[in-house]
């Protein structure tokens, strides 16, 4: 299986590559259309601000390529952290910015109740349905995952949200629709639980 980590200049690509290597999978970091098209699966990483990320994607003329592969070819895509947020229609981080629009969702500031703090940095348990394949082999509400974010996804279609965490209120932790899958947390930094999730994603027949 060939995994392409999309290179637009704002991703945690080294830790992702290490995670895939650890579970015995090859991954390439690329913005080349042919390599993206030839890959079996795509990973959209992201660290930083939403508007900067979309500007970087557009600067490399990646938006039409990604739309084609995700929406027309239906290639499996995994979004990670900011990469998940880019799936949304728009974000209100430092103004209003259009996203890729793959999910009917918006990115809004985290508003939490004390003693929770923003940014949300650290380990949190994620709850999900017992039959959710993305978390197969992992106990709901007991397995911790590593989060780093100040904004969160608000899904207009509740069916898209397949995992939540409690950080001074309910926060979207994982989303899924068709060939599109994403996590707000960093699976590549979530030790055994994150590696299991990556294996579940790679092993799922879309």
Domain extent, residue 55, equals 2-203
Confidence category of residue 15, pLDDT binned at 50, 70, 90: very high
For residue 198, with 0-12 CB atoms within 10 Å meaning exposed, 13-18 middle and 19 or more buried, which class applies?
buried
- What is the domain count for the chain? 1
Rounded mean pLDDT, 92-120: 96
Q: Verify whether residue 81 is a known catalytic residue.
A: yes
1 CB-contact burial (10 Å; exposed 0-12 / middle 13-18 / buried 19+)? exposed
pLDDT in tens, 129-177: 999 999 999 999 999 999 999 999 999 999 999 999 999 999 999 999 9
Annotated active-site residue in 97, 149, 167, 186: 186
The reply to whether 186 belongs to the active site is: yes
Predicted confidence band of residue 31 (pLDDT cuts 50, 70, 90): very high
User: What pLDDT shows up at residue 114?
Assistant: 87
CA-angle at 138, arms to 137 and 141, nearest 5°: 150
Q: Is 72 assigned a catalytic role?
A: no
Q: What pLDDT does residue 11 have?
A: 80
- Taking the CB of residue 113, how many other CB atoms lie within 10 A of it? 8
Cβ-contact 76, 200 below 8 angstroms: no
Which of 97, 120, 149, 188 is flagged as catalytic? 188
- How many CA atoms lie within 13 Å of 7's alpha carbon, on the beta-carbon side? 13
β-partners of residue 106 are 90, 154
What is the mean predicted confidence (pLDDT) over 98-108? 98
Q: Considering only CA atoms, which of 177, 179, 183, 178 is closest in space to residue 195?
A: 183
Q: What is the CATH number of the domain that holds 97?
A: 3.40.50.880
Q: Which of 81, 106, 120, 152 is catalytic?
A: 81
**Using CA atoms, how far apart are residues 53 and 69, in angstroms rounded to an integer?**
19
Q: pLDDT (tens digit, 9 = 90+) per residue, 50-84?
A: 999 999 999 999 999 999 999 999 999 999 999 99
Q: What pTM, to 2 d.p., does this model score? A: 0.97
């Amino acid at each position: 299986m060939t995994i392409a980590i999309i290179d637009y200049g704002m991703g945690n690509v080294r830790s992702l590559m290490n995670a895939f290597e650890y579970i015995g999978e090859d991954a390439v970091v690329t913005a080349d259309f042919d390599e993206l098209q030839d890959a079996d699966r795509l990973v959209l990483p992201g660290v930083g601000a939403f508007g900067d990320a979309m500007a970087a994607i557009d600067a490399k003329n990646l938006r039409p390529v990604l739309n084609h592969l995700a929406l027309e070819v239906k290639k499996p895509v995994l979004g990670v952290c900011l990469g998940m947020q880019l799936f949304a229609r728009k974000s209100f981080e430092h103004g209003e910015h259009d996203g890729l629009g793959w999910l009917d969702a918006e990115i809004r500031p985290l508003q939490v109740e004390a003693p929770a703090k923003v940014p949300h940095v650290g380990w949190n348990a994620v709850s999900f349905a017992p039959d959710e394949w993305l978390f197969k082999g992992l106990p709901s509400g007991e397995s911790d995952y590593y989060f780093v974010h100040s904004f969160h996804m608000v899904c207009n279609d509740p069916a898209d949200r397949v995992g939540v965490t409690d950080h001074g209120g309910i926060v979207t932790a994982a989303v899924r629709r068709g060939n599109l899958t994403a996590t707000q947390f960093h699976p590549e930094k979530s030790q055994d639980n994150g590696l299991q999730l990556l294996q579940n994603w790679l092993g799922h027949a879309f």
